Amino acid sequence: MDELSVEEFRSEAASWLAEHRSEAPRDYGAILPPDLADAGRAWQRTIHDAGFAGIHWPTEVGGRGLTPEHNAAWITECALAQVPPFLNMVGCVLTGGALLAFGTPEQQAEHLPSIITGERIWCQLFSEPDAGSDLAGLTTRAVQDGDEFVVDGQKVWCSNGRVADRGILMARTDPDAPPHKGISFFLIDMATPGVELRPLRQMNGDAEFDEVFLTGVRLPADSLLGPLDGGWEVGMSALTNERGYIGASGISLKRRLDAMLAMGRTPDGGALGPLEQQELAELWSRGTALWAMGRRQGPVASVLGSVAKLGTTELMFDTAVLRTDMAGPEAMLEGDAAYGLESAPGARIAGGTSQIQRNIIGERILGLPKEPKPGI
């Protein structure tokens, strides 16, 4: 492992980014837009060649062998430079973390190097039309047939599906087991016969996600990641990593707070009305509290990421509503305010719904009783 302090590494990263940020695509966040797939791959290759990919992964799988603190420093410097820290969340965080924690040496050798070089893009096949927030209610089936699994079902809200080479898939392998106990976690080649993708048009006019239909899809036995029927643990481990990265840096939140202050003036230089001033001050205070809390979050993901995710999501939703109110009738037409309001509800779903975050906070942080189940 490199003998390099976090601060030395941070300085190295900042200097490199200052020189190379012009080579990066715009900072698109966790989800790689389909039209930036080629640019994202090229950027991933660039940061890999410079030693900034797989920073805390073992050197045996192509990483740099540093610590999560070094990785957090890289993400922070990328946020300051306004460039993507990696190709996409699903591959470099969810899939990579799951493979490191549960993969066999053969699986790690096959998949990890191609993730950090940008050779392969990964997508996530978890949510279903009737099992989004209630992921344990998924009905996609994987039936073992000799040395293969045959998969049938439907997935929805799949990010990067149409540009992905591989995917991580949760499917039910024991229909008679309790909901959380009969699920397995698979690695799937998206070019496998029987995989069909259809873009989903959102109300803001974009099509960031796909629905995926799986019909008689045959997966080799070594596609199983982790134990048979033990996929719930693998999936939850991956999602905890996601929530940790969503709240890993307060840089973007700080920029939003600065933008809120700019909202305090009308285009003609006048002041807002007293009610708008009061609402804006309340939103800015909430955001500042979230930013301060985020500075206490360490580089390793935990359930505390649910607090940051919920708080930031609801703050941005309420800010979009206020911006629309301030725009007046013009917000009924095209424009930034209208687009922001149409996009805001999606954040309450992505990365774990706001309802699920409240359950996690209540049960795992506050120690409240579990939410009652229907009919119990």
Catalytic residue among 242, 276, 342, 363: 242
How far is Cα 193 from Cα 115, in angstroms, rounded to an integer?
23
The single-letter code of the amino acid at 187 is L
Which two tokens mark 86? Answer: 């990696």
Cα(347)–Cα(321) distance, integer angstroms:
14
| 314, 287: one domain | yes
What's the pLDDT score for residue 258?
82
Q: How far apart are CA 304 and CA 58, in angstroms?
A: 26
Domain CATH for 145: 2.40.110.10
Q: What phi and psi values does residue 152 have, to the nearest 5 degrees? A: -135, 135
**Would residue 340 count as lying in a domain?**
yes
Please check whether residues 135 and 219 belong to one and the same domain.
yes
The reply to whether 53 and 134 lie within a common domain is no
pLDDT value at residue 245: 55
Are residue 255 and residue 187 in the same domain, yes or no? Answer: no
State residue 181 phi and psi, 5-degree precision.
Answer: -100, -15
Q: How far apart are the first and last CA of the chain?
A: 53
Domain check: are 94 and 127 in the same one? Answer: no
Final residue of a structural domain among 121, 145, 172: 121
Q: Could you give the number of structural domains in the chain?
A: 3
**Distance between CA atoms of 185 and 229, rounded to whole angstroms?**
8
Q: What is the CATH number of the domain that holds 15?
A: 1.10.540.10
User: Do 57 and 136 lie in a common domain?
Assistant: no
Domain endpoint, select from 95, 121, 147: 121
Counting as low any pLDDT under 70, the low residues of the chain are 1-2, 132, 240-250, 264-271, 297-303, 374-376
- Write the DSSP symbol of residue 204: T
HSE-up (13 A, CA, CB side) for residue 342 = 16
Question: Residue 247 has what pLDDT?
Answer: 41
pLDDT tens, 343-360? 888 888 877 788 888 988
Give the DSSP H or E segment for 234.
helix 231-246
Residue 94 lies in a domain: yes
What pTM did the predictor assign?
0.83
User: Is residue 117 domain-shared with residue 127, that is, in the same domain?
Assistant: no
Kindly report the CATH number assigned to the domain that includes residue 276: 1.20.140.10
- Structural domain containing residue 207: 123-230
For residues 202 and 155, membership in a common domain is answered with: yes
Residue 239 lies in a domain: no
User: Are 23 and 59 members of one domain?
Assistant: yes
| Domain contains 240 | no
Answer yes or no: 242 catalytic.
Answer: yes
Residues 134 and 211 in one domain: yes
- Both 260 and 308 in a single domain? yes
CB 9 within 8 A of CB 73: yes
